[in-house]
Amino acid sequence: MIQKLAIITGADGGMGMEITRAVASAGYKIIMACRDPQVAEIKRQSLIQETGNTAIEILSIDLSSLSSVASFANELLRRGERITLLMNNAGTMETARRITEDGLERTVSVNYVGPFLLTRKLLPLMGEGSRVVNMVSCTYAIGKLTFPDFFLRGKKGAFWRIPIYSNTKLALTLFTIALAEKVKEKGITVNAADPGIVSTKIITMHMWFDPLTDIFFRPFIRTPRQGAATAISLLLDEEAGQRTGTLNVSCHPKTLTEKYTHHIQMKELWNKTEEIVAKWL
């Protein structure tokens, strides 16, 4: 019996490990798409021991480099193996403005443009029954899209990590909705998972107010396993495979208003992003 293939970005992180463990336990062949293969190798060996699934491979990808994303995708296209699951899990919340080799603010590249390009390039390997899951955040609700600042600076003025992070999660949510509509006739489902506030490395203690934030929010912070549960359900549950274009919280779809389902900037966002990634498509 041929194992179905799953691609998981950031598979060696907190929630990434939980997702990879669940998918491996379900018998999938897995490609851990990670920025640092040496670090990921330790996690891979641990997962093999835990799950008994030896079909776990690491491939290098840096979502802050579009050429790296394209190279990763091109390798999979060369292999030609059908993809059943694509989990866009990797993310970052930068503490200072960093511009990538592509001229993008790094948070925007890792959280949105990189996953956009990766998904678009891998679509030819997907078909009936394939699932794409994007890891978003409840902060999408405070996100705003201002062009061209969204791509180049995150926003006007001084760097402020939370609004910029929120902007990327709004963009990824809108990408989920738009892509779901475009590929539904092919039988591909595309959904977004909101993990809640999760204790992962993305939460840093570099600002003066972070200790206070930690004290006030600690009772509400989920473990990586709890945060990963919604994404895992979207990847593996039979019922979840029957819906597309949804945002999901605590393993259940959340009703979105027309502000999001027919967002005034959805088409503009898609078109501007395609202009950026066009040379790699």
Which residues are part of the catalytic machinery? 165
pLDDT of residue 208: 47
- In this predicted structure, what is the pLDDT of residue 210? 53
CATH of domain 5-197+226-280: 3.40.50.720
Q: What is the pTM of this model?
A: 0.90
Query: Three-state SS for 64?
Result: coil
* Residue 209, CA distances (Å) to 124, 206, 215 in order: 46, 9, 10
Decide if pLDDT at 209 tops 70.
Answer: no
Lowest mean pLDDT: which of 146-160, 224-238, 266-280?
146-160
Per domain, the residue ranges of the chain are 5-197+226-280
pLDDT of 196 above 50: yes
The stretch 185-214 carries a mean pLDDT of: 68
Is residue 151 within 8 Å of residue 105, measured between CB atoms? yes
Name 248's bridge partners. Answer: 193, 253
Range 74-79 average pLDDT: 98
């963009």: which residue's tokens?
171
Residue 152, pLDDT score: 86
In this prediction, residue 198 carries a pLDDT of 47
